[in-house]
Structure 1
Amino acid sequence: GRGQFGTTYLCTEITTGIEYACKSISKRKLIAKEDVEDVRREIQIMHHLAGHKNIVTIKGAYEDSLYVHIVMELCSGGELFDRIIQRGHYSERKAAELTRIIVGVVETCHSLGVMHRDLKPENF
Structure 2
Amino acid sequence: MCSSLKGQYEISEEIGRGRFGTIYRCYDVVSGNPYACKIIDKSLLTDETDQQCILNEPKLMSLLTPHPNILTIHNAFEDQHTLSLILDLCLPLTLLDRLTASTVTPFPNACHVITQLLQAVSHCHRSGIAHRDLKPDNILFDSRDVLKLADFGSAEWFGGDGGSLMTGVVGTPYYVAPEVLMGREYDEKVDVWSCGVILYMMLAGAPPFYGDSAVEIFESVLRANLRFPSRVFRNVSPAAKDLLRKMICKDPSRRISAEQALRHPWILSGGESETAELT
Inter-partner Cα distance in structure 1 for 2:74 and 2:108: 34
The answer for the alignment partner of 1:83 in structure 2 is: 98
Inter-partner Cα distance in structure 2 for 1:120 and 1:32: 23
The answer for the alignment partner of 1:36 in structure 2 is: 51
Identical pairs, percent: 36
Inter-partner Cα distance in structure 1 for 2:17 and 2:99: 20
Inter-partner Cα distance in structure 2 for 1:49 and 1:109: 7
The answer for the alignment partner of 1:8 in structure 2 is: 23
The answer for the alignment partner of 1:99 in structure 2 is: 114
Written as runs of structure 1 = structure 2, the 5 A alignment for 1:13-92 is 13-76=28-91, 78-92=93-107
Q: After TM superposition, which residue ranges in structure 1, 4 or more long, deviate above 6 angstroms?
A: none
Kindly provide the amino acid, as one letter, of the partner of residue 97 in structure 1.
H
Query: What are structure 1's unaligned runs of at least 5 residues?
Result: none
* Greater fraction of residues in strand: 1
Q: CA deviation at 1:77?
A: 6.1
Q: TM-score, normalised by structure 2?
A: 0.42
User: Which secondary structure state, in structure 1, belongs to the residue aligned with residue 130 of structure 2?
Assistant: coil
Q: CA deviation at 1:103?
A: 1.6
- Structure possessing the higher radius of gyration over alpha carbons: 2
The answer for the alignment partner of 1:108 in structure 2 is: 123
Kindly provide the amino acid, as one letter, of the partner of residue 129 in structure 2.
V
Which has the larger displacement, 74-83 or 54-63? 74-83
1:12-37 alpha-carbon deviations (Å, 9 max, x no partner): 11222111111111111112333332
Kindly provide the amino acid, as one letter, of the partner of residue 45 in structure 1.
L
Inter-partner Cα distance in structure 1 for 2:99 and 2:47: 36
The answer for the alignment partner of 1:123 in structure 2 is: 138
Query: What are structure 2's unaligned runs of at least 5 residues?
Result: 1-15, 140-279
User: Which secondary structure state, in structure 2, belongs to the residue aligned with residue 70 of structure 1?
Assistant: strand
Bigger relative CO (Cα 8 Å, ≥ 6 apart): 1
Inter-partner Cα distance in structure 2 for 1:9 and 1:77: 12
Inter-partner Cα distance in structure 1 for 2:89 and 2:39: 14
Q: CA deviation at 1:89?
A: 2.1
User: Which secondary structure state, in structure 2, belongs to the residue aligned with residue 22 of structure 1?
Assistant: strand
Which has the larger displacement, 40-49 or 81-90? 81-90
Q: CA deviation at 1:114?
A: 0.9
Which has the larger displacement, 69-78 or 108-117? 69-78
Kindly provide the amino acid, as one letter, of the partner of residue 106 in structure 1.
V
